[in-house]
Amino acid sequence: MSLSSYVSLGRSGLRVSPFALGTMTFGEDWGWGADAETSKAIMARYIELGGNFIDTANGYTCGHAEHIIGEYIGKDSALRDRVVLATKFGMNLYPGDPNGGGASTKAIVRACEQSLRRLQTDYIDLYWMHVPDRFTPIEETLRTLENLVASGKVRYIGFSDTPGWKVAQAQAIASMRGWTTLAGLQLEYSLLERSVEAELVPMAEELGIGVVVWSPLANGMLSGKYTRANAGTVDGSRATTFGLPFGEREFSIIDALADIAKRHETNIAAVALAWVRSRSGVSSTLLGARTVAHLDANVKALDVKLAAEDIARLDGLSTPPMTFISRLAGLADMVVHHSTTVNGQSQPAWWGAPANDAARY
């Protein structure tokens, strides 16, 4: 498989690479990213490998990431047409201005115009709401996005990091009013963060929304840099800043990844990425890279074909605590299908069911 083995984003007509290039690392403004020339080299390598999906945001390195992308892609019209360019609105770059961020009409239009300028393009292929804005009615957000699509400035829309009920509400309103519906939903998803499986991913599948995964390596915790053997000698504070502390659960998963990687003659990160790619509902997965070598190493995950026992082992070690809905899912199937087999799934009799027709009142 390769980056040019394109997939549909949900039920939309947009085709994207199975790995998207995330650009939160573009620019050194936050003290840990890649400089402009390295960032452009990463984009060049990604495109050379067949990649077509580049994801950024208005707030990444205070707009510098968008500027770097624009300097590389915006000046080449043929390349711009080939690339699926995604960016986000919502982050406030203006201290003291309550309308500087969020999902209001004023904020979205302003952010869109500024992103178009920095990206040196006249349209955005996929425009994400970065985070929900609880003080703005969803109808206002959707109407503004519909107007941007109608104007030709935006092609497709999506939400990122938004509760399932809000996504479902938005999709229903857009459908009923004939507005542009959501094509994508961007979520954190990894072996260390599987809570999205309870409702968000099933909802996205049901509504035809493609899931785009961010932080598939859990902020680097599953990159292979951190192991049980070097615990205490390698500084893990960077990885745990936005993630979980290293504990027995985390190291047991890393140990399993190392064992599976050895058998597949690949690296820990590639196995962790291959696991995410195997999950139901996932259209594309974001790869972040600070060097070309880092990108090349992660792309190797496309060549990893995990065996059923590999997936089962990783699933068993990383299964999250059950939610109310997931806990009752099995019971629901049992009481609905009662002693029958439906779609290949057999269910036993439930404890309170009548034994025969005569037992019913």
Residue-wise pLDDT for 328-360, tens only, equals 887 888 889 888 999 999 999 888 888 787 777
**Residues 311 and 80 sit within 8 Å (Cβ to Cβ):** no
Distance of CA 317 to the CA centre of its chain: 22
Residue 330 pLDDT: 78
Residue 241 pLDDT level (bands cut at 50, 70, 90): low
- Tell me which residue has tokens 């939903």: 185
Whether the predicted model's global pTM rises above the 0.75 cut: yes
Distance of CA 194 to the CA centre of its chain: 12
Q: Of 60, 127, 156, 226, which is the active-site residue?
A: 60
CA distance linking residue 311 with residue 305, whole number of Å: 10
Residue-wise pLDDT for 266-317, tens only, equals 999 999 999 999 999 999 999 999 999 999 999 999 999 999 999 999 999 9
Residue 320 pLDDT level (bands cut at 50, 70, 90): confident
Residue 358 pLDDT: 73
CA distance linking residue 87 with residue 155, whole number of Å: 12
Residue 131 pLDDT: 97
**Residues 155 and 149 sit within 8 Å (Cβ to Cβ):** yes
Which tokens sit at 15? 């085709």
> Is the pLDDT reported for residue 193 higher than 80?
yes
Residue-wise pLDDT for 106-116, tens only, equals 999 999 999 99
Residue 325 pLDDT: 82
Residue-wise pLDDT for 20-54, tens only, equals 999 999 999 999 899 999 999 999 999 999 999 99
**Residues 231 and 205 sit within 8 Å (Cβ to Cβ):** no
**Residues 115 and 87 sit within 8 Å (Cβ to Cβ):** yes
Nearest CA among 79, 45, 84 for reference residue 295 = 45
Residue 186 pLDDT level (bands cut at 50, 70, 90): very high
Looking at the chain, the whole-number percentage of residues with pLDDT higher than 90 is 83
Residue 192 pLDDT: 96
Residue 135 pLDDT: 97
Residue 75 pLDDT: 87
If you average pLDDT over residues 128-139, what whole number do you get? 97
> Is the pLDDT reported for residue 13 higher than 70?
yes
Residue 138 pLDDT: 98
Residue 246 pLDDT: 83
Would residue 72 show up in a list of annotated catalytic residues for this protein? no
Helix 268-277 × helix 248-264 angle, to 10°: 100
**Domains of the chain (ranges plus CATH)?**
7-321 (3.20.20.100), 328-359 (no CATH)
Residue-wise pLDDT for 199-228, tens only, equals 999 999 999 999 999 999 999 999 999 888
Three-state SS letters, the chain = CCCCCCEECCCCCCEECCEEEECCCECCCCCCCECHHHHHHHHHHHHHCCCCEEECCCCHHHHHHHHHHHHHHHCCHHHHHHCEEEEEECCCCCCCCCCCCCCCHHHHHHHHHHHHHHHCCCCEEEEEECCCCCCCCHHHHHHHHHHHHHHCCEEEEEEECCCHHHHHHHHHHHHHHCCCCEEEEEEECECCECHHHCCHHHHHHHHCCEEEEECCCCCCCCCCCCCCCCECCECCHHHHCCCCCCCHHHHHHHHHHHHHHHHHCCCHHHHHHHHHHCCCCEEEEEEECCCHHHHHHHHHHHHCCCCHHHHHHHHHHHCCCCCHHHHHHHHHHHHHHCCCEECCEECCCCCCCCCCHHHCC
**For strand 15-16 and strand 7-8, is the pairing parallel, antiparallel, or unpaired?**
antiparallel
Residue 304 pLDDT: 95
Q: What are phi and psi of 191, to 5 degrees?
A: -60, -20
CA distance linking residue 93 with residue 67, whole number of Å: 15
- Compute how many other C-beta atoms are within 10 angstroms of the C-beta atom of residue 205: 16
Q: Is the backbone of residue 219 left (phi > 0), alpha (psi -120 to 50) or beta?
A: left
- What integer best gives the mean pLDDT of the chain? 94
Burial status of residue 211 (CB atoms within 10 A of its CB: 0-12, 13-18, 19 or more): buried
**Residues 209 and 166 sit within 8 Å (Cβ to Cβ):** no
> Is the pLDDT reported for residue 253 higher than 80?
yes
